[in-house]
Amino acid sequence: MDAIFLQILNGLDKGGAYALIALGLTLVFGTLGVVNFAHGALFMLGAFCAVTLNRLLNISFERVSETETNFLGKPLVEQVPYLEQWFGPEVAGFLLDWSVPISILLAVVVMAIVGIAMERGLIKHFYKRPHADQILVTFGLAIVLQEIVRHFFGANPIPQPAPDIVAGAANVGAWLGLGDNLIYPWWRLIYFLFSAVVIFAVFAFLQFTTFGMVVRAGMHDRETVGLLGINIQRRFTIVFGLAAAVAGIAGAMYTPILPPDYHMGMDFLVLSFVVVVVGGMGSLGGAVLAGFLLGILQSFASMTAIKSILPGIDQIIIYLVAVIVLLTLPRGLMGRPGVAED
């Protein structure tokens, strides 16, 4: 019972991450009609925004220590962060401790700029090209982005701890009166809430603002909206920026769970595409639904009881579900007919 409850929590948490990535992907597809294989790389860049902020906060000057020595037996050159010099150790310590949540601010700005630049500089020229070309050019871009990151940050994962106050695990069982064995990491609970809020905000934005209405209308029938004299182009650019920002903050917030490395985007890419396709290309609700569904299924498939009956099921469950859904529901869970079938 506890085990099942925990697996549901796991599934929601995973699903939150999948849904956040898939949301941007499907938004871009639905509005711009572009299949963006660089979306995983945007997730990765977001994660590296957190790393970068941490490094920025740690910019240091060197001070030769009088007492200590380094591994070669020479006087140790200490690195003293400017931050500590200027604001004192307490403020500096606080900022460093909270660098991951703070990095959301950086990620939003940086990723929106990256997204807009990407749309203006590259994607724009690919609206009328076949999907295959879009896949290929964005795939190339993803390789370039990740190699640039590797050049500066190396190939190994870089740890990004969560703030101390939420570092441990919460006693979820005690809250619900289910005993002490139900514990779950604070940060994962936060991540789930965070993804729910972001998803909700994106939906609210598209539902209740004029901008969102135009975008939704554009998703539905691009030419007509264009004929109304509305500059749909500029709005789509902003939509791309929005999608990039969502991917970026999803990545930044994910760093305490998964220490970021340059290749994490590619690791998530295939998965997020499967989520989008299962949900139905271009369907926002479908992406969120499929994200949570696949997250939960994946968690359950990993349970020993199930693995002992179907060995290796946890390795293929995502793909298996994708195959079954696509063969029974031609356009995924919530896809519209005629989308992406050419």
Partner 1 sequence: MTFRNPNRRKILKIGAAAGVTTLATPYFFSRGAFAQSMDYRNAPEGDTVTLGFNVPQTGAYADEGADELRAYQLAVEHLNGEGDGGMLNTFSSKALEGNGVNGKKVAFVTGDTQTKSDAARASAKRMIENDGAVMITGGSSSGVAIAVQGLCQEAGVIFMAGLTHSNDTTGKDKRANGFRHFFNTEMTGAALAPVLKNAYGTDRKAYHLTADYTWGWSQEGSIKKYTEQLGWETVDAVRTPLGAGDFSQYLTPVLNSGADVLVLNHYGKDMVNSLTQAVQFGLRDKQVNGKDFVIVVPLYSRLMAQGAGENVKGIFGSTNWHWSLQDEGSKAFVKSFGEKYGFPPSQAAHTCYCQTLLYADAAQRSGTFQPSEVGKALEGFEFDGLGNGPVLYREADHQCFKDVLVVKGKENPDSKFDLLEVVEITPREQVEYPPELLGGELGPYNDGV
Partner 2 sequence: MLRTLSRSDWLLLIVFAAVVLTLPWTMQPIGAAYPDLLQKFAIYGLFAIGFNILFGLTGYLSFGHAAFLGVGSYAAVWSFKLLTMNVLPALALSVAVAGVFAFLIGYVSLRRSGIYFSILTLAFAQMSYNLAYSVFTPITNGETGLQVRAIRASAETPLRDGDVRIIDQALGVQEVGIPISNLFGMKMSGYPGFYFCAVLLIIGFFIALSISRSNFGMMLKAIKSNQNRLKYTGVHTRPYLIAAFVISGMYAGLAGSLLSITDPIAGAERMQWTASGEVVLMTILGGAGTLIGPVLGAGLIKYAEQKVSSWNEGILHDAFSLLPGPVQDFFVEFATLFVGEGWHLTLGLMFMIIVIFLPGGLMEGFRRLRRALTSGRSSASRTMSSTSPVQERG
H-state helical runs in 63-171: 82-97, 99-121, 131-153
**Contacts of partner 1 in 258-287 (CB under 8 A):** 258-259, 261, 263-264, 267-268
Which whole-number Å values give the CA distances from 304 to 13, 43, 82, 182, in the listed order? 20, 31, 51, 18
Which CB, 263 or 336, lies closer to partner 1?
263
The one segment of 42-50, 58-66, 232-240, 275-283 that binds partner 1 by CB under 8 A: 58-66
25 binds partner 1 (CB under 8 A): no
- Cβ 65 to partner 2, closest distance in Å? 32
The site partner of 60 among partner 2, partner 1, none (C-beta below 5 to 8 Å per kind) is partner 1
Q: Are 106 and 48 in contact (CB under 8 A)?
A: no
**Contacts of partner 1 in 178-237 (CB under 8 A):** 181-185, 187-188
Residue identified by tokens 């499967």 is 274
Question: Contacts with partner 1: how many residues (CB under 8 A)?
Answer: 58
72 binds partner 1 (CB under 8 A): yes
- Cβ 68 to partner 2, closest distance in Å? 34
100 CB-near residues (< 8 Å, 6+ apart): 50, 160, 161, 162, 163, 252, 253, 255, 256
- Read off φ and ψ for residue 167, nearest 5 degrees: -75, -35
The one segment of 219-227, 245-253, 304-312, 325-333 that binds partner 1 by CB under 8 A: 304-312
Nearest to 133 by CA among 36, 248, 255: 36
2 binds partner 1 (CB under 8 A): yes
End-to-end CA distance of the chain: 46
**Number of helices (H), then strands (E), in the chain:** 14, 4
Residue 195 belongs to what H/E stretch? helix 186-208
Output b/e per residue, 1-18; b: 16+ Cβ within 10 A.
eeeeebbebbbbbbbbbb
Phi-psi region of 198 (alpha: psi -120 to 50; beta: other; left: phi over 0): alpha
- Cβ 162 to partner 2, closest distance in Å? 31
Which CB, 135 or 258, lies closer to partner 2?
135
342 binds partner 2 (CB under 8 A): yes
39 binds partner 1 (CB under 8 A): no
The site partner of 319 among partner 2, partner 1, none (C-beta below 5 to 8 Å per kind) is partner 2
The site partner of 129 among partner 1, partner 2, none (C-beta below 5 to 8 Å per kind) is partner 2
**Contacts of partner 2 in 276-305 (CB under 8 A):** 277, 281
Q: Are 299 and 7 in contact (CB under 8 A)?
A: yes
CA distance 183 to 173: 6
- Cβ 106 to partner 1, closest distance in Å? 14
Which CB, 126 or 273, lies closer to partner 1?
273
150 binds partner 1 (CB under 8 A): yes
14 binds partner 1 (CB under 8 A): yes
CA distance 84 to 92: 5
Q: Are 111 and 245 in contact (CB under 8 A)?
A: yes
Q: Which residues bind partner 2 (CB under 8 A)?
A: 35, 122, 125, 128-133, 135-137, 139-144, 147-148, 151, 266, 270, 273-274, 277, 281, 311-312, 315-316, 319-320, 322-323, 326-327, 330-331, 340-342
In the complex, the residues that contact partner 1 under the rule CB under 8 A are 2-3, 6-7, 9-11, 13-14, 17, 52, 55, 58-60, 68, 70-72, 150, 152-159, 161-162, 167-169, 181-185, 187-188, 256-259, 261, 263-264, 267-268, 298-299, 302-304, 307, 312, 314-315
